[in-house]
Structure 1
Amino acid sequence: MAQAEEAYGPPAPEKECAPQQGDEIVVCAEEEQDQSQFRVKSSSELEPESEEALDDGTPRAPDVAGPGIFTGPPTIGGLCIPGLQKCPPPPALIIDVTALPQAPEGSDADKIAKGEMPGR
């Protein structure tokens, strides 16, 4: 019980100031103790590169690789070197054969189409 009273009981009485002389007003206070254990770290201490930490009025050079600008690994757009990087398959060719002209009568293409000449 004594330990609980010591830990949670009322604080010890404050020391009285030295006696004043005459009509002087004396302001006395306890010696400053280290209060750092009661302080909460600021956002600039917790995350020095955060927007809040950098918003201190100090002018800084703009971040040219900032938001909205590609910041990933360097690439060469549109260039594919097989063996050096994974390349997409070539695009499928779409040919509208109905737009091709008809083979002239008697040509090799006409004979192959009619089955008169074996394909080469």
Structure 2
Amino acid sequence: MMSAGGQITRDTSRNHCLRTIRQGEITVCAPDEDEFRIPSTADSDPDSAAALNDGRLHAPDVAGDGIFKGKSTMAGMCMLPPCPPEQPYLIDLSTIPEAPAGSDADKIAKGEMRAP
């Protein structure tokens, strides 16, 4: 190999490869260039246009926008009567803490102030 100063240097990776050859084997000594490879968009983002435009058929994303993700369109509507009654909200009032003394909530509870 040629170094930056113009001198010939030994290729130690090739020499190491040649030393490991066993008698009767065919060995190909070549540098592994995967360390210099930049992953393609198709590898890093499988849902990108580059990954999906490969000439093969792909299954549709049934969890895509407008189907099960995103804002619902018809969910929760009753189309065929009789429709069940709407369920009331259940609030456990025992879990609500007492209003601090002197607060607006305390004054409203005691009737000292009108609710807004």
**TM-score, length basis structure 2:** 0.36
What TM-score does the superposition give when structure 1 sets the normalisation length? 0.35
Higher relative contact order (CA 8 A, sep 6+): 2
**Larger Rg over CA atoms:** 1
